[in-house]
Every structure is written in structure tokens, then in C-alpha cells.
Structure 1
């Protein structure tokens, strides 16, 4: 019942063009005007990207798509699509073996390929499980002081390190963190 109420609340908030804050009612952004989705502060958690065994192609693939490419589970990398024919590696060439993570998932999850949630638009042509679509708003990543504070990062985890002198994007490919400075 809680899940149904939560989904209905999200749908109502999306149609009202409001913001979604996951984890609490405050979030991390001080100015909420350009924020579509944000996360609670101080949780030492991140978002986990979809594990993809076959990289998306075709009309449903849109720029800005981010995945954990597990097409070869022994050489997984975090990648994003920038509109060119190839995917861009965010793992800086570092590969990870995510075979055990995929085995755990396969035994406990059954995917419904038609299921998806769209936040920010009523419909979308994009092909994804969670689609954030807006011309004027963005997602604020979960913020942490250090990746060392995350007790058990999962393959595909993404966070923003919000620490004076060390602000950067961090992605975890399953074996190590890769850092991207703005």
C-alpha cells in the first residue's frame, strides 16, 4: 500500500511540475528553481546506474544516457552516450569484474521491459527505466564529503563529492572509483 501511495504522490507531483526530493523534504540544493530531482544530504549513499548487458541502440537512445556497461561482465565500465556513434568511458579505462553482482541480480529480479518512470515530462520517446526529462531542470546527484564514507559502494554507483578544494563527480565501476573534476 505504501508503494502505491508513493507512486501516486510522485505522479501528482510530476504533473504539477514540482520537484522530487528523495530521502527527505529538504534536499541539498539551496535554489530549487532549476532542480527536477535531488537527494537528501548526509546519507553517504549514491545512485546506482542500470547494469546493461546489451548497450542500447536506435531511436530510443538519447544523449545523456548513463549506464554500467556489463556487456562483458569481467570488464565492466561506467559509460555515457553523447550522441556520437560510440559510448564515452567514464571509468578512465579502468575495468571491473561485476560477474557476482550480475549473478545475484539474476536470481532475485525479473525485468518487465515495458516498465519505466518518467519525471519531468508526461511522455518520452527515450528508452529507459527511469527517465528524467526537462528543458529547464536538472538532477542534483547525491552529495558526499568523501567516497571513503560510503560503506559498501555498488557497481555503477555515482555521487558528487562536495568538499572544499575537492569538488568532483565520482563513479564506481565495481572495483574502484574514478573522479572527474569540473
Structure 2
């Protein structure tokens, strides 16, 4: 009986498209697959040794590149640097500990993946795949002033300047659409 119930849940969930909210009770916009609540928190991108050797990368992939400490996004023409002119760091300014040392000492499950929306075979840690929904970044007023200890690779939407804000471990870069 238990196997039949699990099978039905799997079948039903494969035909529904998901919406997820983090830091709030529910999704408030029907055009959204992933929505964040308010507060001084951001979305931290995965840290990779180098984006140059990432296998099967699709356009729109975003990562924090440890080879040069920059936030990057993949376009058809190649990787675009979102960190602007300043190279970042993974050294925590409060503790002085290098985050890479913590990351490297952890056991990684290379098959771990979360897919929201259409089930996908696209490689990635978090895959949002929908034809009619998007992700809304965490909204923060003046993140460079209000987020006390941002992590390298953090992204938010600055509600004051109305810009994408990306932290590379040293400085915030602000991007206009």
C-alpha cells in the first residue's frame, strides 16, 4: 500500500508545476516559481573552482568562480563577469577564516539537485525551469548598508536603487537591466 501511495505522489508531482516561497508563508505572484521574503538576506550562488571547466552548462547558469573570485553568468557568447572591476575574496572579515577551507572539508553529494517547475535533466544544484514563471530575488533596501556580513556570490534586488546587487566577497556591484 505504501509503495502505491508513493507511486501516485510521484506521478502527480511530475505533472504539476511547483511554486516555492522561502522566508514567507506563500507565493504572492502567479508568475513566480521561486519567491523570497523580505529581510537582510540574499541568495548565495554555488562556489565552483572555475566556470571554464563546468560540464554541460546552459545559458543563464550563474556561479561564484573561485579561480578569480568573481560572480559570473553564462550567455551564448561565453561567461559574463557580474563583479565588475574588483576581485573578491572568500576570507570572512569577521573571523578571518577562508570559506573555501570550510567548503573543501565538507563531503559533497555531487548528485544533489533541486528542480522547481518542469522536471529537468539540466545539470545544476538548483534548477528553475518554467516557460511562464521566473525567480524573484530577495528584496533588500540598500544591501551594501544593511547586510552585515554578506557571503561571496550573494545576489539581491536593491529596492532603493532598483538594481541587481551582486557581492563578490569584497564589494557590491550594481546592475541595471
Distance across 2 between alignment mates of 1:79 and 1:110: 25
Task: Answer yes or no: is 1:36 the counterpart of 2:15.
Answer: no
Match for residue 47 of structure 2 among 48, 51, 73: 51
Distance across 2 between alignment mates of 1:118 and 1:81: 19
Distance across 1 between alignment mates of 2:86 and 2:72: 11
What residue is the counterpart of 1:9 in the other structure?
A: none
Q: How high is the TM-score relative to the length of structure 2?
A: 0.82
Structure number with greater Rg is: 2
Q: Following TM superposition, by how much is the alpha carbon of 1:110 offset from its aligned partner in structure 2, in angstroms?
A: 1.1
Structure 1: gaps of 5 or more residues: 1-11
Query: Aligned-residue CA RMSD in angstroms?
Result: 2.2
What residue is the counterpart of 1:95 in the other structure?
A: 87
Q: Following TM superposition, by how much is the alpha carbon of 1:33 offset from its aligned partner in structure 2, in angstroms?
A: 2.0
Q: Following TM superposition, by how much is the alpha carbon of 1:54 offset from its aligned partner in structure 2, in angstroms?
A: 3.0
Distance across 2 between alignment mates of 1:104 and 1:115: 19
What residue is the counterpart of 1:5 in the other structure?
A: none
Q: Following TM superposition, by how much is the alpha carbon of 1:26 offset from its aligned partner in structure 2, in angstroms?
A: 4.1
Taking a change above 3 Å as real, the CA distance of residues 33 and 159 of structure 1, as seen in their structure-2 partners, is: same
Task: Answer yes or no: is 1:161 the counterpart of 2:153.
Answer: no
Taking a change above 3 Å as real, the CA distance of residues 69 and 26 of structure 1, as seen in their structure-2 partners, is: same
What per-residue deviation string (whole Å, max 9, x for no partner) do you get for residues 11-38 of structure 1? x8785324100111145x5xx1210000
What per-residue deviation string (whole Å, max 9, x for no partner) do you get for residues 73-120 of structure 1? xx3000000122x2100011210122611112222x211111111111
Taking a change above 3 Å as real, the CA distance of residues 168 and 110 of structure 1, as seen in their structure-2 partners, is: same
Matches within 5 A, 1:62-101: 62-71=58-67, 75-84=68-77, 86-98=78-90, 100-101=98-99
Does the 8 Å CA contact 2:120/2:129 hold for their aligned counterparts?
Answer: no
Taking a change above 3 Å as real, the CA distance of residues 175 and 127 of structure 1, as seen in their structure-2 partners, is: same
Distance across 2 between alignment mates of 1:97 and 1:18: 35
What residue is the counterpart of 1:122 in the other structure?
A: 119
Distance across 2 between alignment mates of 1:35 and 1:14: 18
Aligned residues: 160
Match for residue 149 of structure 1 among 146, 151, 164: 146
Structure 2: gaps of 5 or more residues: 1-11, 92-97
